Amino acid sequence: MAIIRLRNINVSFGGPAILEQISLSIDAGERVSLLGRNGTGKSTLLKVISGLVKPDSGEIDVNKSVKIAWLEQEVPYDLQGSIFDVVASGLGSKAKLLMDYHHAAHRVAEDYSEQAFAELERIQHEIEVADAWGLNQQVEAVLSKMKLDGDADFAQLSGGMRRRVLLAKALVVQPDLLLLDEPTNHLDLQAIQWLEDQLMGYKGALLFITHDRAFMRRLSTRIIELDRGKLVSYPCDYTTYLVRREEMLHAEEEANNLFDKKLAQEEVWIRQGIKARRTRNEGRVRALEKMRVERANRRQKTGKVDMKLVRGEQSGKVVVEAEAVNFDYDGRTIIKDLNTTILRGDKVGIIGPNGAGKTTLLKILLGQLKPQSGKVTLGTRQTIAYFDQMRDQLDEESSVLDNLSEGREFIEINGARKHVIGYLQDFLFAPDRARSPVKALSGGERNRLLLARLFSKPANILVLDEPTNDLDVETLELLEELVSNYSGTILLVSHDREFVNNVVSNTLVFEKDGKISEYVGGYDDWLRQRPVENEVNKTKPVVERPEQNEVKARAEKKKLSYKDQRDLDELPVKIEKLETEQERLHAQMAEVDFFQQDKDEIVKVQNLLKENEQALEAYYQRWEELEA
């Protein structure tokens, strides 16, 4: 059943319509991926659905009881307070009461004064009057499920943890529809996998924008694409979508060619001599005028980025050789006993969590930073092009043109001279946009400008530090093809699993205590090759259970009754069976065609999952009682 319907929505900000006659229906439990080129209006569509932007015309049908929450693309800079405060703020007008109660309870724990107790009692009374105790339990439940410390300061968290808190803020209202705008941006691989697991178990509907193809493949039950103001729905997986979309674009191109040919013939006819004018068919004239209007209103598909790498002089055979390299920072081991050799033509991926030291490793391998012990030997004839994820190479106040040209009027690309304006047009910067200051650019435009700078200079070593952030999927695939075919050496830091899989020949992986291991192949190859003891355990939205022998030891110490002892011994097996069944049901609901089948079958599976979760909760409660 549809929880929200959009009919004939139009939105324009003065130019061509961003959303033109958009119609969309989202059913309960669907996970819909929204695709489209940068600047096509994807975020605007989410804002229309969430109510932040009012459409120029059209209808939005949504029941008043339906709750909608939105996880924004960027982390707001004005959020302050504890994690509890930020999560509770998602509950609206009653959030202040919960925050006051949370802080008052802490004051009582620290100060047993009558004043502190009186304040706590006053707030408790206000919560009872507002009937808000249930909301407090919602906040505590979400914090527990997401393993968040409610007392921690939000401002001190890493970027990945901040996004986890903001997701908790969105989920605390128990929304029927959750809107996600680039949720994987700036998250490391472990955080992305955690997010996927959370969303796979989410019972509501999802509508999300992402450039992470692996994320999209796992979560999507349907794909919708926004192109030139129009919305097209593809009830299929991502691989099938690519095939169907190519077929649709080919059919559109053929139809346009036939139309243009017919229009050209009619234009020849209308320009014939006096004799033709005397016998002119007025109906044919009106049809021609209509064709002219239709051709003038046709919106051309946005061009593709035309990226070319400038070939540099071939480097020496050995690019970098590291022997027993160690590096510590602020008392923490970043790199320990690293030994590796990088040869000309190698494409090396660097994998590790945020803060592990990936950028530090790059600087050491490039000779920009000296190790505290060990030896790094650089090869000969090296010219390096460096893509910086922080975009520090760009002058915010200067124009796009000045940032690229550096005083040059022409750029030489593999022996051919090209004007700077023409070169920028290859990266989808129109002449007027090329004269705009960098501070006015979107994230995707900044990345395209960095790539334009990077590829305008000859190099035989390409260093890419998170190059995929903010790029749309089409540009991302073009960059992937270009990098894959590059004959020089590549050092790549990326959390995009599919990009890493398709580009690199081997990987350097940060493991425990500064150890960096080398594996052949990309991300999936590393998963297959890594030792079992180094695997990162997936975070489950359940309480971690102790081992069975630990349970027995505790039970014996408590001297439980025979029946209670037997229950305690059997609980781990029962819980494991339920968790296995829960994973099977989640996998079944994640199938592409799950929501295309009979409604009764869908409801049956959803009910089974609900019963499973209730039984699991009861078992855990029984376990806690026995342990207590």
Which of 71-75, 82-86, 258-262, 454-458 comes out lowest in average pLDDT?
A: 71-75
User: Is 391:450 a contact under the CB 8 Å cutoff?
Assistant: yes
The H-assigned helical ranges of 213-370 are 213-219, 238-270, 274-278, 282-297, 358-365
Tell me which of 587 and 50 has the higher pLDDT: 50
User: Is 29:203 a contact under the CB 8 Å cutoff?
Assistant: yes
**Other Cβ atoms closer than 10 A to 252:** 11
Q: Which tens digits make up the pLDDT trace of 238-276?
A: 888 888 888 887 787 888 888 888 888 887 877 775 455
Is pTM beyond 0.85? Reply is: no
Crossing angle of helices 548-558 and 562-589, in 10° steps, is 150
CA–CA separation, 179 and 70 (whole Å): 5
Which of 144-153, 431-440, 551-560, 607-616 comes out lowest in average pLDDT?
A: 551-560
pLDDT of residue 536: 43
The H-assigned helical ranges of 35-188 are 42-50, 83-88, 95-110, 114-130, 133-145, 159-171
Report how far apart, in Å, the C-alpha atoms of 60 and of each of 7, 16, 23, 47, 50 are: 6, 22, 9, 12, 11
pLDDT of residue 97: 80
Rama region for 186: left / alpha / beta (φ>0; ψ in -120 to 50; rest): left
CA–CA separation, 460 and 478 (whole Å): 20
DSSP 386-440: EE-TT-TTS-TTSBHHHHHHTT-SEEEETTEEEEHHHHHHHTT--HHHHTSBGGG
pLDDT of residue 544: 39
pLDDT of residue 301: 62
pLDDT of residue 508: 95
Element (H, E) at 504: none
Backbone angles phi, psi at 233, to 5 degrees: -105, 135
CA–CA separation, 235 and 591 (whole Å): 12
CA–CA separation, 77 and 162 (whole Å): 11
Q: Is 365 helix (H, G, I), strand (E, B) or coil?
A: helix
CA–CA separation, 321 and 304 (whole Å): 39
Which residue from 436, 410, 323, 330 is spatially nearest to 371, judged by alpha carbons? 323
Residue 463 pairs with which residues in a beta bridge? 386, 491
Tell me the range of 57-66, 254-263, 585-594 where mean pLDDT is highest.
57-66
- Give the domain 548-627 fold: Helix Hairpins (1.10.287)
pLDDT of residue 591: 64
pLDDT of residue 558: 46
* Percent of the chain surpassing pLDDT 70: 86
CA–CA separation, 398 and 552 (whole Å): 69
* Contacts of residue 321, Cβ cutoff 8 Å, sequence gap at least 6: 340, 341, 342, 376, 377
* Contacts of residue 88, Cβ cutoff 8 Å, sequence gap at least 6: 95, 98, 99, 102, 135, 139, 172
pLDDT of residue 537: 44
CA–CA separation, 211 and 187 (whole Å): 13
Strands lying side by side in the sheet with 332-343:
332-343, 318-329, 373-378
Confidence of residue 201 (pLDDT cuts 50, 70, 90): confident
pLDDT of residue 425: 85
Q: Which tens digits make up the pLDDT trace of 276-293?
A: 555 557 777 788 888 888
pLDDT of residue 543: 38
pLDDT of residue 376: 94
**Residues 13/16/17/21 CA torsion (nearest 10 deg):** 160
361 pLDDT higher than 50: yes
Which of 181-185, 335-339, 600-604 comes out lowest in average pLDDT?
A: 600-604
Please, is 457 exposed, middle or buried when counting C-beta atoms within 10 Å of its C-beta (0-12, 13-18, 19+)?
middle
Mean model confidence pLDDT for the chain = 81
Confidence of residue 215 (pLDDT cuts 50, 70, 90): very high
Residue 562, both tokens: 């025979």
CA–CA separation, 84 and 298 (whole Å): 51
CATH 3.40.50.300, domain 318-534, yes or no: yes
Report how far apart, in Å, the C-alpha atoms of 574 and of each of 35, 562, 578, 623 are: 42, 18, 6, 11
CA–CA separation, 583 and 574 (whole Å): 14
User: Is 2:25 a contact under the CB 8 Å cutoff?
Assistant: yes
Backbone angles phi, psi at 74, to 5 degrees: -110, 145
Residue 547, both tokens: 């081992």
Which residue from 156, 219, 210, 220 is spatially nearest to 187, judged by alpha carbons? 210
Report how far apart, in Å, the C-alpha atoms of 324 and of each of 221, 285, 327, 363 are: 48, 82, 10, 16
Residue 45, both tokens: 């569509």
Q: Which tens digits make up the pLDDT trace of 523-571?
A: 999 988 887 654 444 444 433 334 444 434 443 444 566 567 667 777 7
Domain positions in the chain are 77-157, 318-534, 548-627
Q: How far is CA 599 from the centre of its chain?
A: 31
pLDDT of residue 628: 63
Which of 63-72, 161-170, 347-356, 390-399 comes out lowest in average pLDDT?
A: 390-399
CA–CA separation, 74 and 108 (whole Å): 36
CA–CA separation, 462 and 346 (whole Å): 11
Q: Which tens digits make up the pLDDT trace of 592-612?
A: 566 556 666 766 877 787 787
Residue type, 116: A
Q: Which tens digits make up the pLDDT trace of 5-22?
A: 999 999 987 767 889 899
